[in-house]
A and B are shown apart, each in its own frame.
Chain A
Amino acid sequence: MSAVHAEAEGMPQGHFTLPDPSLSRVLEVENLIVDVPGRRLLDGISFWVPKGEFVCLCGPNGAGKSTFLKTVLGLMPPTSGSIRIMGKPAQKALREVGYVPQRKTSDMTFPARSIDLIVASMRGSWPLRIREEERARAAEILRHVGGEKLLEKEIARLSGGETQRVFLARALVNKPSLVILDEPTAGVDVKGRAEFLDLLAEISASDELAAILVTHNLAAVARCAERVVYLDAGRVSAWGLPSELLGQASLSAISAVAGGDHAAHSHHHHLPDEE
């Protein structure tokens, strides 16, 4: 990694350390704009994630984090700009992405076991019967995330922490290059959250798997992030090392870029921790 000034197009000028540009890029977003009638949700987002890097995507509610994720995942069309995953247009590389959604998006009353979810991710369709090799693979990936006892458990009976383990397993089962986690610890109890953070820290230590974690949880940022991208009002306000952004001086910089009253009150600013 090299310490450089932020000079990418659309980036604020400041002393943020960007990834080494010579590293291969798992995700590359260039000047991404997303409009809905009467409103611009994303306003020229540009950054990249090199192989193996764990990025925390932060920002206040309404900053565009969810829109950004949906666009990367192909669930929302970009108005302009480009998203490339492993060098290919995002729509053609979705198998390279593992996704852990917010807990509220899935129907947890659905009559299913953990193994069904994982095999559905492997097949791209819901399994009626599970083959032995699929069972073995599901068991292996659950063991990898410390959830070996959850294989046959009904999803309606999973605790918050167990649910996220299973969803992480289903995201990892196809050996993606990039895993995207959307506030995975929101609504999870303290013990479950701490255990899940341990898991995320393991992913962060991996040199192979890149990750984007959307979070409001400062503990998660401090524990896992190798880089932080801070969104505000649909723009990248800051992109750098956690130490640079979590420090008081850089928060002032973020606030200054965000503009208006924020700059004047920068000494009061914190990354929001809503969990």
Chain B
Amino acid sequence: MDALLEPLLVPFMQRAMIAGAVVGGLCAMIGVFVVQRGLSFIGDGLAHAAFGGIALGLLLGVSLERMTWVALPFTVLIALGIGYVLRRGSLRGDVATGVFSAVSFALGVLLLGLRSTDGPQVNVETVLFGSILAISPDDLITVGVVGVVTAVLLAFTWTKLAYATFDPELAALSGVKVAALDYMLLALTAVVIVVAVKTVGIALVSSFVVIPAATAKMVGRSIGRVALLAIAIGTIGSSIGLILSYHANVASGATIILTLGAVFGLALLLRRR
């Protein structure tokens, strides 16, 4: 048992465990609404949009460590743009997300090419697949602040957000400010995605949003229970995945997602019985 928990004694693993658990819980919390609204693709889309923000930061000479502060406003703007198109009702969510994310990603590629060759080297693999083991104490503070702000906002708006997710028209008739909540949810999703990109990377972050929520949805009978279950799956799955990756000496981000995938498969099998 001691050998199994040995990674908890290593400082970089401690930071990774905390960051993974917080990000896993946050993504799951957001994911409950995102999945229920049929916007699962948005996690992937906003992660690609974040790449545009990261490239913009690099062009402006910002270091990779501080890139979050450029990627954040950029990705939030993209999210709000998607929200605006959705509310206009002219396009479906997947179309709006697809267009905005593809354009942002292409912009990112273009901006990376425009960088001065004298600038710092960027490891694209780190951006794509994350580097949870390289989480610094500063990163941990960012994760903590984002975690607290997101959790508080969601806690205060939870009951209205759930009502608007079930039926926006009925919620609006009951006095719920549906438009404001929609924009808030998209902005929060963007913020959480940008922070999560650091841990599991652009390529895998949407799984962090979708898998715990989709798993919990198969089991839970009320939206409250689904949320609690999703948060537990995101948090515990992330921790277990990280410990497994340490012992197997394999990529941590991918192991976390594979762990979550295994839980999803198990839930699927149990449900069929």
Interface of A toward B, CB cutoff 8 Å = 73-75, 94, 97, 99, 101, 105-107, 109-113, 116-117, 120-121, 123-128, 154
Contact = CB atoms under 8 A, between A and B. Distances in A.
A113 B36 contact: no
Contacts of A105: 167, 169-170
Interface residues of B, number: 26
- Looking at chain B's contact residues, the main secondary structure is helix
Nearest to B216: A111
Residue among B167, B170, B217 with most chain A CB within 10 A: B170
B174 A111 contact: no
A117 B223 CA distance: 12
B221 A111 contact: yes
Nearest to A99: B173
Contacts of B226: 111
Nearest to A122: B174
B7 to A, nearest CB: 35
A78 B264 CA distance: 48
3 nearest A-B pairs in the assembled complex, by CB-CB distance: A126-B162, A125-B159, A124-B174
Contact of A121 (B174, B221, B224, B225): B174
Given A105-B169, A106-B166, A126-B166, 18 more contacts: A75-B173, A94-B173, A99-B169, A99-B170, A101-B170, A105-B167, A105-B170, A109-B36, A110-B36, A110-B165, A110-B166, A111-B223, A112-B222, A113-B222, A120-B170, A120-B174, A126-B158, A126-B161
A125 B174 contact: yes
A111 B217 contact: yes
Nearest to A116: B222
- Looking at chain A's contact residues, the main secondary structure is loop
B159 A111 contact: no
B222 A124 contact: no
B217 A101 contact: no
18 contacts: A73-B169, A74-B173, A99-B169, A101-B169, A107-B36, A107-B166, A110-B165, A110-B166, A111-B226, A112-B223, A113-B221, A113-B222, A120-B166, A123-B159, A125-B162, A125-B174, A126-B160, A126-B166
Nearest to A167: B170
Contacts of B11: none
Residue among B166, B175, B222 with most chain A CB within 10 A: B166
Residue among A99, A107, A111 with most chain B CB within 10 A: A111
